[in-house]
Structure 1
Amino acid sequence: MLYLASQSPRRRQLLEQIGVDFRVVDVDIPEQRALAESPREYVSRVAREKALAGLAAIREPRAFVLGADTEVVLDDEVFGKPADAADAAGMLRRLSARVHEVISIVWLVGRDGEWTDTSVSRVRMPELDDAAIAAYIATGEAFGKAGAYAIQGHGATLIEHLDGSHSGVMGLPVFETVRLLRAHGLMGA
């Protein structure tokens, strides 16, 4: 049986969309970047810790747990979820007219091993003025999202160019996830 160690509705939606049978396991992992930890190492560690915490909470001997984390990175700085509207506006101002990376890493863990895959996307936003930023924040979408935007909603209007995985920017890179699940017999061909 496959479990998803995430409360993210987007991750659940993406797994459902590709026809994966799974259950959700609730985990609470602190998301704090360690000193000298690269953005990629940080995202990988958090995703792995989610999966391992999920596995520890499940009694099924043949269970597999999927953990994922996605972060927006600009100039080696990880943009987490904004604390409030001012924080969201600050993030969007910094992303304006720039190319940033979205790192999305998936870990699949079971009693007999751990496997991972990574998606790195490059996203360019156009120049955003204060009115555009305020209008977007007013939609409510900026909250609870890394980098203060959601590519699957109104945030799509903030994306000038995407080089990479749309689903990876949403929070679960579907291609990489399917590759992991198929390799371990958790999804048909």
Structure 2
Amino acid sequence: MIRVVLASQSPSRRTILRDGGIDPVIIVSEVDERAIEDGFIGSVGDLTTALSEAKARAVIDRILASTPPTLHDADTVVVIAGDSLLEFDGQAIGKPETAERTREVWSAIAGQWTQLHSGHTVAVLSRTPQSNVSADRPEAEGHDRVDPTDSATFELSDLRSKRSATSVLIGSPTAAELDAYIATEEPFHVAGALTIDGYGGAFVDRLDGDHLTVLGLSLPVVRELVTDMGLLWPDLWTLQR
């Protein structure tokens, strides 16, 4: 059985996977994104890839150290991690987090073309052979039968990353509209202070590229990575329509 782990607490990434037939186990990476950003030298797009890989590796380390019970029945675990940043005038714009920063971002990007970059990292973990006593017989006289799922362990088989980018033409909300949008606090928690799957969708005039990239997880990119690692994409489906 294949289990999919989403190394993110992003509701939009989870929704994208669920809409695509995959019900992921959520394990939040708890990576210090700001520390990585501060020390990174490279393009905005490459930074999103570095962040997604850091998140994936943090979750992989946790799984290898102590496998969660939700993964005990898996033969293969696919870990998916993503990160997104808006690029404007060569600079990365992440989550603004405050009303003041949100106003600064929107004063710069309103009416402008920007680039939304999403980095993707996919890893495959394979169950390691059981080296302990067989599950077909008790370990010793008077002991309970050994259940291999109680001590499931995995090893990293493969890890690959790829990023995607979509051009975004930002709209020009009125002062009253921007005040109302800021009051929702939605832009505080999304890259570039906007999202197309919420209140902010009305303030994006045009996209040139994959809209899922803007939402934070491009299924075509993830499928390509999964396929390149020898897995069949439909084998990841867990939800029935």
Q: TM-score, normalised on structure 2?
A: 0.73
What CA distance in whole angstroms lies between the structure 2 residues aligned with 1:166 and 1:115?
A: 22
| 2:4 aligned residue | 2
Match among 105, 111, 118 for residue 97 of structure 1: 111
What CA distance in whole angstroms lies between the structure 1 residues aligned with 2:203 and 2:170?
A: 6
Structure 1 window deviating more from structure 2 (65-74 vs 139-148): it is 139-148
What CA distance in whole angstroms lies between the structure 2 residues aligned with 1:125 and 1:75?
A: 14
| 1:41 aligned residue | 46
Q: Relative contact order: is structure 1 or structure 2 higher (C-alpha 8 Å, sep ≥ 6)?
A: 2
1:73-129 alpha-carbon deviations (Å, 9 max, x no partner) = 101111111131111111111111110000011110131221122210000113334
Asked if residue 135 in structure 1 is aligned to residue 180 in structure 2, the reply is yes
Total equivalences in the alignment: 189
| 2:159 aligned residue | 114
| 1:54 aligned residue | 59
Q: Map of 1:14-93 to 2, 5 A cutoff?
A: 14-32=16-34, 33=37, 34-59=39-64, 62-93=76-107
Identify unmatched segments of 5+ residues in structure 2: 68-74, 125-155, 236-241
Contact kept? 2:45, 2:163, Cα under 8 Å: no
What CA distance in whole angstroms lies between the structure 1 residues aligned with 2:60 and 2:232?
A: 16
Identify unmatched segments of 5+ residues in structure 1: none
Contact kept? 2:194, 2:200, Cα under 8 Å: yes
What CA distance in whole angstroms lies between the structure 2 residues aligned with 1:186 and 1:85?
A: 44
Q: Name the CA shift for 1:128/1:21 in 2 (closer, same or farther; >3 Å).
A: closer
What CA distance in whole angstroms lies between the structure 2 residues aligned with 1:37 and 1:182?
A: 28
Asked if residue 179 in structure 1 is aligned to residue 224 in structure 2, the reply is yes
1:186 is displaced (CA, Å) by 5.3
Contact kept? 2:5, 2:79, Cα under 8 Å: yes
Contact kept? 1:165, 1:173, Cα under 8 Å: yes
1:181 is displaced (CA, Å) by 2.9
1:35 is displaced (CA, Å) by 4.8
1:56-82 alpha-carbon deviations (Å, 9 max, x no partner) = 111358422111001111011111111
Q: Which of the two has higher C-alpha Rg?
A: 2
Structure 1 window deviating more from structure 2 (22-31 vs 45-54): it is 22-31
Contact kept? 2:84, 2:94, Cα under 8 Å: no
Structure 1 window deviating more from structure 2 (46-55 vs 61-70): it is 61-70
Contact kept? 2:49, 2:162, Cα under 8 Å: no
RMSD: 1.8
| Runs of at least 4 residues off by over 6 Å | none
Q: Write the letter of the residue equivalent to 2:231.
A: G
What CA distance in whole angstroms lies between the structure 2 residues aligned with 1:64 and 1:186?
A: 12
